[in-house]
Amino acid sequence: MAKVQDILVFFQTAPALDVRPSAWARYEASKGSEVGDLVEEGQPPYRNAMAAMRDGWQVIQMSEFKQRTEAEGYELGAFPYQTVLSRFSEMQPE
């Protein structure tokens, strides 16, 4: 079977690679083209991006810092930073 890309995204409140993620998502194309039944996970698969890197994941995006203005400095919204990790895995039947 061919190897295809799996993506793991860590959503964070600071951009560093040793920060514990607040949220996470798996886009494992090797297993299928959608997440049809989300199985709950209480803890992230790794404690931070560096732990994932030690298990073979490659960082393909690290967030830039954000400039805070007086007007926006106290506002909250989506988690401000994300780290995108990639790994190639053997494709399984969908």
Partner 1 sequence: MEHLISSQDMARFVASGFLRYDHMVPEDLCHACREEMTSFGGYRPVGTPFEETWPKDGALGELFRLPKVAGLIHSLVGPDPLYDHHAAHLVKARTMRGPNTHQDSVIDFRKNYFDIQLSFFPVDTPDEMGGTFIVPGSHFRNVRTGEINAYQHVLGKTWATCPAGTFYVWNTRLWHGARSNHTDQDRYMFKLRLNPTQPQVGHFDMSALDDPEIPRILNTRHGWEGNEMRYELMKRVELWRYVSAQPDYDIGERFMRRREYQPQLADDQRG
Residues of this chain that bind partner 1 (CB under 8 A): 9, 11-14, 19-26, 34-38, 40-41, 43-44, 74-80
What's the closest the beta carbon of residue 80 comes to partner 1, in angstroms? 8
C-beta of 85: minimal distance to partner 1 in Å?
14
Q: How far apart are CA 55 and CA 39, in angstroms?
A: 22
> How many other CB atoms sit within 10 Å of the CB of residue 13?
12
Q: Are 3 and 91 in contact (CB under 8 A)?
A: yes
- Minimal distance in Å, beta carbon 18 to partner 1? 12
